[in-house]
Each structure stands twice: as structure tokens, then as C-alpha cells.
Structure 1
Amino acid sequence: MKQRTIAKAVEIVGIGLHKGVPVKMRLEPLEANQGIIFYRSDEALTIPLKIENVVDTKMATVIGKDGIVISTIEHLLSAVYAYGIDNLRVVLDNDEVPVLDGSSSGYCMLIDEVGIKELSESKKVIKIKKEVEVRTEDGKRVSLKPSNHIVYDFSIDFENPVIGQQNYHFDYSIDEYKENISKARTFGFLHEVQYLRSIGLAQGGSMENAIVVDDDKILNPEGLRYENEFVRHKILDAIGDMSLLGYTLIGEYDAHAGSHHLNHLLTKKVYESEENYEILDLDEAQKESYVFQKAYALVDAN
């Protein structure tokens, strides 16, 4: 199986979640072995997607270099990662990726519109060989476990009656991602939104790009897209955060009450020991190559 990029460039303008200002974003194809690269056109600065470039994980995954940052990258990366795109240049004229509708479905539509191009170099993946876990004292945890498949298991437990306990098991394929994960929107509580705005954040947040929960009700007039949309969005975020590994994952991600911060610690911990992983060339790994061919079968390379 070969590396992938997009077949041609595409450009959109959207609103940044926190500053609430328009952001122009252009996705450009790259040649093999270039990876995912962000470029701030207003600052003339390139920031490669690497674990060491993560500078903040409180409200979103933020990368930066020389004091210049790019925020809220996880929804875009979730779609890029889900489509198996290995090489891509993301050009932005501000410090946030457009939030669109709070999910990654808009990015899936962009990729479908321009198409996928297969390159001449073979695709490389990271296969988990040994379980790696990050756990907090209050019971939150994230882990990666060995598997010949791509699996995401996530559970959440909120005291709020609208959310409560939810769990979801996701066996990866592009088709399943588009149907069951990509449409799940980010969410927040009304009191949190009010606080964030008071400190200059979430200026672009609205019920057009997030689920807003107030005590025992959802304020969005259209309601939920899925009964368990909250936990599905957590998987969407996790897929985007795992893109920081630098290669498409073969393994099982399992989490309870995971977060961007724990996901970042998990990707760092994987690389602490070569016993935890191996990098495979899919042209040489027959069994894993079959798994990927099946998972990506519903996207035609142009």
C-alpha cells in the first residue's frame, strides 16, 4: 500500500473557535515522506506536526514554534488521519483551524471533493507491540494496546443527566468513520462557555458549531445527531490526537474520560521505549497491509 496525499489543493474560509475571526485555510498536496506540515502565511513560519511541537492541550491540541501557535487542529487532523493521508501542507492566515460545524464532517467533504492521490513510496505505519497507559489518580486513563486492527474504545461518565455514562466501540474503516464519528460535534456547558468568553476565549463558539448543555437540557434546537454524540466526539478528538504519532496507527486505543492532555502524554510515552512499537513498511507487511486495504477500500485513489 502506498502513501497518500490529496489530489489537488482546496481552500476554505471559516471562523476560529476561540478568537471568532475569519481564517483562510488552504490544503495542499505534498510529495512522499514529507508528513503533515502547517504553515502560518501571516507569519511566514512552518510548524511540522510533531509531538515536540505541542505547546498546549488545555482546551484543544495546540502546536507552536518560536512563540507562534496554531490551535484547535484535532478535528482537521482526525479527518486527515482517518483517510490515511500521510503528506499534506495546511496553510493558515491566523492561529486557529476553522471550527466549521464543530465536527470533522466538513473536512471529510473537502477530501472527498478533491480526491486522494497515491504516491510512489510505500506507506509506513506504527504498530503497537506492548501496552502503554497513562492514568491519573482520579481514574482517568488512556492506553494503546497491541492489535492487528484499528480500534477505538471510549467511555465517559458525567454527573450531568443529559450526558451521564456513555461508551462507544469503533472498528475503523473510512466508511464507518464518515457515518458514525465524523458528524459528532464538540460540546460544552453553558456556564463554561460564559466563563471562557469572559476571559477572551470561545468568541467564535455558538450552537452552530457546538452542542451546548445547560443543567438538564440541550440548548441546540435541532437536538443531537446521535444519542451518544458526546462520546463519539471524544473518539473523533482521539483519532486527531493520535496523528501526532507521525504514522497511521495499528493497535487498540482505549480510554475512560480521556482528554487532549492525556492523549499527548500517551503519544510521548509510546516513544519512550522501542519495545512499545515498531514502524512497518506496508509493502513488506502482508497481514497488516491486508487490514489497511480493507479499511481504506471505500476511497478511490485518483
Structure 2
Amino acid sequence: MKFSRQTTLWSQATVTGVGVHSGLPVSLTLGPAPVDAGFIFVRTGLDGPDREVQANAKSVIATAFATVIGDSEGPLVSTAEHVLAALRGMGVDNATIEVDGPEVPIMDGSASAFVAAIDQAGIVEQAARRRFIQVLKPIQVAIGDSFGELRPNSSGFRAEIEINFANPAIGRQNYIIDLNPQSFRRDIARARTFGCMNDVAQLWSAGFALGASFENSVVFDETRLLNSEGLRYSDECVRHKALDAVGDLALAGLPLLATFRSVRGGHKLNHAVLSALIADRSAWKIVEAEPVATARRPRVAAEIASGMLGGMIAPAFGPDVS
């Protein structure tokens, strides 16, 4: 692994955009957190005191069109998956995620703005060894014609994603990624959320997806892509599903040593597989990274994001299952 010790952010970085459903302005600030803290959402802008929720599988209260984090008082923040994917994908273990609205900002429909924010804040190693959840035996879940599983993989995390849409403009796509900061940044961080125009119209009429637009979503009609700029990857849709899976599985609380396979899946299936793993205590164990041979000084990420971080990131606004 790139780091044998846990990591956090060196400083804070803020992005500002709109909520995909409300269409209202929202700001998100990433910041440092102590050893073993994991990812902590802090909801500000409330009438009462700020609320904090640790991002884990038990804090998920909805998965219909996005991953929603909450507690006994109700929902805290929606569309958590993309910022969680950026943190996990870039190798951050502990961070605070402060949001002043009910949704993570939509940005450009991908995780790229959050990667830029992580670059701006910098990554620093901490004193404690990095810990992992090592999957020991296969865990499988089927929901209708969707299927997901976690299998042992002692070398790291791999995602094997298959989608199969009736819409011929999307169709069947497969993608495999062995996750590390380089592959995350290069191969899936820029993949945008996607959907079909008839789904968007239905959500608009119901008062949802008010912040969705061609600036933050890849949109298809019955036969073709409607975005004039085209796709960022020829298989951008399945890559975005891989991005979502990385974010949803970040709710394990620790990096997974496992291979995740998903067929016609989405947020609901991702959460169901993770929940099934956690419920079976014989299926996993916590392990620590091996110490490096020579001590290293804390390392701050060298790349700094340039220019404005504002813009717009969205959950899939169509049906969760492909």
C-alpha cells in the first residue's frame, strides 16, 4: 500500500455548488480528523446546534437515488457517495466533512472537484498504522435481477462492475479497477452521474432533481447522448457506477481488502452487500498494515488544485438499478 500509516488532511478546503434535488446553494469543507476517527459528517446551518454523524453502514438511512446519511433524529446529508469516494480513493483515512445544507454539492457530476479539494488541503501521515477490513469468505446478495458480492483479496481493493440498460445508448458495459490514488484519479474520478431524460422529467414534476442539468449530468434520450460535449470516457456510465461503489463501500469505516462485484447494481445493492458483510462476523477481520522498514516523515500531497473549485456533483437521478 502507498501508506503504512493512517492519513488525514493537512488543512481545510471548501467547495461550493448546489444541491441536486433542492437546487439551492451549499458549501462543503473538508478538514483534518484524529487517528481512528474515520469520516465524520458535520451538518451546520441548522436552527439548533451542529450535528455530527460518523459515516458508516449503520448511518445510512436511504439509498433510493443517492446515499443518505443520518441518525435517530433523521436525515443529515444526502448524496454522500461522491465525496466519500474521493476520500477513500485518494487514500485518506480520517477527515471531517462539514456541509451547510441537506445535500453534498453536485459540482460537475463527478468526484473531480473533491479530488481537487483534497489536493489543495494536502494529505499527511499520522502516527498510527493504517487498518483494513480483510474479507475472509465470499458474501453474496441478490435483489431481483441485481447481484453483488465481496470476495477475499489480500492485495487490495478491486471493483468489477457490470451494467446492462435497456436503453441502447447505454447498453451493457463492464469495468474493472484495482483501486489506488493514481487509478482513482485517472480512471474514475471524472466519470459523471447519468440518467435518461424521461426519468429526469418525472423527478422534476415530483419536485426532485431541481439542481440537475447538462452541466452536472450525462443525459440520454431513448437513442442517443444529449450532452453536446460528449462523454469523458467511452464507458463513462459504468465507470461512474464504479465511483459510486467506492463511495458506498467507504462506509465500511476502514479500507476493504476485497474484490467487489456488482451486476445491475446501485446504491441499494452496494449497501446491502456491505451490511451483509458486517453482519457476518466470521466473514472479516481487522488487520494492520505492515510497518515500513525505515521511518518516514509526514508526507503532504504535492499537487495543489489550481483555479476555482466551484461548480456542480450529482447522484444518479434515474432508477438505482440498471
Q: What is the TM-score with the length of structure 2 in the denominator?
A: 0.87
Report deviation, 1:175: 1.1
**Alignment correspondent of 2:317:** none
Is the aligned partner of 1:67 residue 2:64?
no
What secondary structure is seen at the aligned counterpart in 1 of 2:76? strand
Report deviation, 1:273: 1.8
Q: What CA distance in whole angstroms lies between the structure 2 residues aligned with 1:121 and 1:104? A: 28
Unaligned runs of 5+ in 2: 294-298, 305-322
Q: What CA distance in whole angstroms lies between the structure 2 residues aligned with 1:300 and 1:249? A: 26
- Equivalent residues in 2 for 1:45-124 (5 A)? 45-65=51-71, 66-124=73-131
Q: What CA distance in whole angstroms lies between the structure 2 residues aligned with 1:151 and 1:238? A: 11
Whichever residue aligns with residue 221 of structure 1, its letter is: S
Q: What CA distance in whole angstroms lies between the structure 1 residues aligned with 2:283 and 2:303? A: 32
Report deviation, 1:298: 11
Runs (4+) of structure 1 exceeding 3 A deviation are: 297-302
**Alignment correspondent of 1:26:** 29
Report deviation, 1:299: 5.5
Q: What CA distance in whole angstroms lies between the structure 1 residues aligned with 2:99 and 2:185? A: 25
CA RMSD of aligned residues (A): 1.9
Whichever residue aligns with residue 141 of structure 1, its letter is: F
**Alignment correspondent of 1:167:** 174
Q: What is the TM-score with the length of structure 1 in the denominator?
A: 0.92
**Alignment correspondent of 1:201:** 208
**Alignment correspondent of 1:36:** 39
Whichever residue aligns with residue 117 of structure 1, its letter is: V
The answer to whether the 8 A contact 2:30-2:118 is kept is no
The answer to whether the 8 A contact 2:15-2:114 is kept is no
**Alignment correspondent of 2:233:** 226
- Equivalent residues in 2 for 1:129-148 (5 A)? 129-138=136-145, 140-148=146-154
Whichever residue aligns with residue 136 of structure 2, its letter is: K
Report deviation, 1:189: 0.6
**Alignment correspondent of 2:287:** 280
Report deviation, 1:90: 0.9
Is the aligned partner of 1:250 residue 2:252?
no
Residues 55-91 of structure 1, C-alpha deviation per residue, up to 9 Å, x if partnerless?
Answer: 1000000011202420001011101011121111111
Residues 169-227 of structure 1, C-alpha deviation per residue, up to 9 Å, x if partnerless?
Answer: 11222111111101110001101101111111100000000001111111100011111
Q: What CA distance in whole angstroms lies between the structure 2 residues aligned with 1:16 and 1:301? A: 28
Whichever residue aligns with residue 99 of structure 1, its letter is: I
- Percent of paired sites with the same residue: 35
Whichever residue aligns with residue 143 of structure 2, its letter is: T
Unaligned runs of 5+ in 1: 290-296
Q: What CA distance in whole angstroms lies between the structure 2 residues aligned with 1:92 and 1:169? A: 32
What secondary structure is seen at the aligned counterpart in 1 of 2:246? helix
